[in-house]
Structure formats: structure tokens, C-alpha cells
Structure 1
């Protein structure tokens, strides 16, 4: 399993509701992709124009070939692109150490 971390900067914090509404639709596309395992969208507390999308995939290829090179990616991007202040960036990570606090 790998973790994709994508960095989004939207144009204005006034756009938060619109961006998050668009993401609510876009996440349905994301979740339908082969190799998709789950995701979380986080908004920065100190800078509400900054978001991080964490997506778990089976493999890097599931993200690159299965999603980014699919026709569905164009749909996903069209929903979110109008809000971006800059092109998003993303990288892939593999876990080295994990810890889960007990409840």
C-alpha cells in the first residue's frame, strides 16, 4: 500500500464552501478507481487556502496509470481546477513506521 499526498492551494478562503462541494462530487470519481483504498481531505488551520489530500492506493501504478491516465481523471480535474490558485503537486510515500494510539 502506498500513500499519495497531494497539495492544493485554492484562490481564496471565500472559495472553501465551493471547493469542498466540488470535492464532495470529485471524491465519488476517486473512490471508483481500481486500486483505490481510501482518502482524507484536510484543510490547514493556519492557512485555510491550503489543503492536503491523502489517498491510499494499492500501488503507485494504480494512481498513475489507473487514475491519472484515465478519462475519469479529466472529469475529476474539471470539477476542482477552477478553484486552484496554482497547479497541485503530489508525491507517493510508503510507510516505514506506524503507530495507532489505543482507545
Structure 2
């Protein structure tokens, strides 16, 4: 089954390249003078897709702990198993919570 990707791979590669350049100190003000200007700005919050549920086998959380993942990037099925890749890690998906919608 072809994976369902929530992000454009080419866009993520550009992001990684920019972050690597920034980390190496090779991004300077003259490089960025032609980018769009954002005025009257403030830090905002926006909703991104993630998963939440009960975790097992996580290196940082005890089994049975309720977690909310980082941003969901991809979901795919192989050999009858469902998997998800978040911004930070992989998960094998167990049973899904039933949601009552009226």
C-alpha cells in the first residue's frame, strides 16, 4: 500500500537543507533580504495533525501512559500492520479508539 504522506517530501528536504545551513552558520542577513517581510507579528498557535493514545514500549513513557505524539507525517499499512511516522519517531498502530459521532 502506498503511504499517505501529510507533508511534501521535497518541501521537507528544503527545510532540512535550510536548517543544516543555519546550524553551520552559513545563513546571513544578506542572504535573507529578499524573503517576504512579516510585520505586526506575534507568536501564534496552530493545530497540526497528531495521534494520541495509550503507549507501550516507549523509551520515555511507562506502558499504559496516555501520550500525544508530535506532528503526524505519514501512515502506511504493510503485512496487515499499520504504522505511523511522526516528526520524532515511528509507531506501530494497535486498535483505534471508536468515536461516537452524532
TM range (shorter): under 0.3
Return the structure number with greater helix share: 1
Structure of greater Rg: 2
Give the TM-score normalised by structure 1.
Answer: 0.23
